[in-house]
Amino acid sequence: MNYLRTLLDDAASAPAPPARVDVELAVRSGTRIVRRRRTAWAVGAASAVVACLVASALVFTPAAQKEPAVPLPAPGFSKVFEPDKKYASFGWLPGEVTQSILETTPEWHRQWVTNGSWKVELRMVTAGRDMELSGSDRDFAVDAAQVDHRWLYRTDPPDGRDVEWNAVRITARDFALRWQYAPGALIEVAVQNADNPKDLLLDVVNGVRVGEEDVRVPFHLTSPPGRTTRLYIEEMGFHWRAGLEYQGDASVTIASADGAPDSTFTTEVDGKKARLENKYLAVVEPSGVRSQVHLPDGDPVELYRRLRIDR
């Protein structure tokens, strides 16, 4: 599993993207935006309680920020993502990546990377969908009516495209920036636990490349049990895990493993040690990796026999 590792190492070694922004103009523009928004909220406040809640939620303003040179909108994106692809890449990261996660579903795409201290997350949704402000790592694609856009600060990039600071600061991140990568389709990049997180965020955003790219999944099924609904790949040092989920809650996962199987592997499938429980089948492969299949409405052993590991 070195596909993601190669891409991320390239991003970590790339030079920081140059700033293409008039910082003084950005400061003045951001100040005007914040002043107008605060005035509107002050006039429209219905009570002191509401005023306090608003004041506590606005943890930063974009007034002192340089503007990001965000990537141009990508034409030709469909309204459905294919779960065996990735839809964006990091052009620059602040250092070596020690853990990475990539996920794709028909409605959203997510990448998360860290070196054990700083963390960077990229999220995308298909056209016509919005994303939660709070940064949920599953099912964050929502209807636009569910998003409180008061916590998004609009900025004015040099090329006229809309970029918004997400001002909802939560445990999972410090700051986030979102923009449209295609008409009506959002992408967001967030950082956590970084020195100078706002500057780091802008540097990462300036290097993001939007585009469709095949992902190498280290296995396939000769006959899938249904439509693929989610791809998941995680790498951490020499350890890795990759999985596909299918319509009807079926799933296949293979992962690296340390040591011999535990005492719960009490049966065999095709001469390999295995564990079968509640429609879940786990098998110890000759290479040492572990395979797990889940088939709620069928025989997991039969599904396992359709599995081909490509490592």
Q: DSSP letters of 180-226? A: EEETTEEEEEEEES-SSHHHHHHHHHHH-EEEEEE---SEEESS-SS
Residue 44 has a pLDDT of 45
Q: What is the pLDDT of residue 142?
A: 82
Question: Can you point out the beta strands (E) in the chain?
Answer: 85-89, 99-104, 108-114, 119-125, 130-131, 141-142, 152-155, 163-166, 175-182, 185-192, 209-214, 219-221, 228-236, 239-246, 250-255, 267-269, 272-277, 280-284, 290-294, 307-309
Helix, strand, or coil here: 297? coil
All residues at 6 or more sequence positions from 111 whose CB lies less than 8 Å from its CB, including other chains? 86, 88, 90, 100, 101, 102, 103, 121, 122
The whole-number pLDDT of residue 160 equals 47
- Run means of pLDDT, 10 residues per run, the chain, 311 residues: 52 52 37 40 40 35 47 64 91 94 94 93 89 69 74 56 65 77 87 83 90 92 94 94 96 90 92 95 94 96 96 70
Q: Cα(114)–Cα(99) distance, rounded to whole angstroms?
A: 6
Asked if 128 contacts 183 with a C-beta cutoff of 8 angstroms, the reply is no
Q: Where are the domains of the chain?
A: 3-214, 219-309
Residues 6+ apart with CB under 8 A from 270: 305
Asked if residue 283 lies in contact with residue 274, where contact means CB atoms within 8 angstroms, the answer is: yes
